Amino acid sequence: MKTKQNRLIKGFSLVEMMVVVAVMGFVMGSIYTAMIHFRNQSGMEQLRMRQSQETRFLMSTFATEFRNAGAVLSIASSKGMLGKNSYFTGILPLNNADYPDGVILATGDPTMVFKLKEPASGSATTFMVTTKVQNPVWNQNDMAILLGERGFCIYRVNSGTATSIEVASPPVYYSGMLNTPLHYIDKAFVLMGSNGFNETYPADAPLIRLSGFSIYLIKESYDSRQRRTVRQLFRVTDTKGIPDVFNNETVEKSLVAENIYDMQIVYHSFTGNRLENQTDYFTRTPPNQSDDYLQLLADMNSKAFKEVTIFVVTISDELPSKGITSILRTRIQPFADLLDPYLISGRKMSVRQFSFKIAPKNFGLVVI
């Protein structure tokens, strides 16, 4: 009887326990591996979706701003009103020798075109004006641009009538402010020796209400989590008179794209409206030089500038960087003035390269 009871209470042997633990470990390990895999897959899909969203934004909203910029300014700032060519027509390429290109875009309101009644400094807060429209209405916080022969200022309006406009100081932006320390160059300042803010604007200089104003800049920084240099595209609508907009918290910046590797802007001019007479201008150096930039500005004023091509490369990490030590070289096709045809990374990357063309409005209209 005792032997039978001993047989009933007999447990698992050590070998059986080890087998069970091994099987359970294998099962749990498989489950954990599957969870990590699906988590990585989900993360990669989210990154790819974000890349697609950023691409759609650049090809829609950004392209629309580019298309509208200069619609009024390209006419109002011409010799017909100013007497001389202005060096800003609503589209100002920013030359960055260190990072990808940037651009300033301003769209004028055709119902609110004014001229200075008398010469004035860009630092003034009151401008006496004449207007070409009846019963103009200025609202507080409207934006206005004052165009000169060598520079320009953009202001936030406090109040205004048909004969005078009160603006806030400092300006939202003035020509030359991006010269330093952002590594972007406002060539209207560099080439013409004026910073806009201290420029004296002559009588009949155009002062126009803006329906849109944006500065697109790319910031480069090192991301310790991703263990690589990242570039982000920001949109700034008010610099508040501060040159270093990236390192000042009072300047509002909206993040447009966080997966930018490079963005190049190429401007196309067609002399005499003939396709065979095409000239392409890049906005970085080399190969762009001062003479090339001056010629581009001249082509903008003479309406020879008809089209722009935006080249973009976006990247994002496909795998978490922890534990990944292999160096991968992902080849991309060189474009515009991109000299290095490779992306060098310490992990697997998702790379997208695309380009799209934009034809700004009204650049072919007759000068008034």
Q: What is the pLDDT of residues 152-164, one digit of tens each?
A: 999 999 998 888 9
One-letter amino acid at 199 equals E
Q: Quote the mean pLDDT of the chain.
A: 78
22 within a domain of the structure (yes/no): no
The answer as to whether 14 is a domain residue is no
User: What's the rounded Cα separation, in Å, for the pair 279 and 97?
Assistant: 21
- How many other C-beta atoms can be found within 10 angstroms of the C-beta atom of residue 140? 11
CB 302 within 8 A of CB 271: no
Task: Report the amino acid identity of residue 288.
Answer: N
* Residue 1 belongs to some domain of the structure: no
Q: 102 with 94: CB under 8 angstroms? A: yes
User: Residues 6 or more apart from 9 whose CB is under 8 A from it?
Assistant: none
Asked whether residue 368 is domain-assigned, the answer is no
Q: Which range, 11-25, 53-67, 127-141, 237-251, has the best average confidence (pLDDT)?
A: 237-251
Averaged pLDDT, 321-331: 46
Question: Could you tell me how far CA 159 lies from the centroid of its own chain?
Answer: 30
Residue 12 lies in a domain: no
Higher pLDDT, 227 or 195: 195
Quickly tell me which residue has 């070998």 as its tokens.
15
CA atoms of 31 and 8, how far apart (whole Å): 35
| Within a domain: 16 | no
Domain that holds residue 313: 44-358
C-beta separation of 86 from 148 below 8 A: yes
Give the pairing type, strands 206-223 and 228-236. Answer: antiparallel
User: What average pLDDT does this structure show over 93-122?
Assistant: 87
- Quick one: tokens of 117? 């009644």
Count of domains observed in the chain? 1
Structure tokens at 3: 């032997």
Q: Residue 184: which pLDDT band, with cuts at 50, 70 and 90?
A: confident
Counts for the chain of helices (H) and strands (E), in that order: 7, 17
* More confident call, 362 vs 365: 362
Is the pLDDT assigned to residue 129 strictly greater than 80? Answer: yes
What is the rounded CA–CA span in Å between residue 210 and residue 300? 19
More confident: 120 or 305: 120
Which helix (H) or strand (E) segment is 116 a member of?
strand 102-116
Mean pLDDT of 183-196: 78
Asked if residue 278 has pLDDT above 90, the reply is no
The token pair at 195 is 């910073």
Residue 25 falls inside a structural domain: no
pLDDT above 90: residue 37: no
More confident residue, 35 or 28: 28
Nearest Cα neighbor of 75 from 62, 67, 65, 86 is 86
**53 Cβ neighbours under 8 A, 6+ residues apart:** none
Question: Whole-model pTM?
Answer: 0.81
Domain assignment present for residue 365? The answer is: no
- H/E stretch holding 120 reads strand 120-121
**Which residues are CB-neighbours of 100 under 8 A, at least 6 positions away?**
218, 231, 260, 262, 263, 264
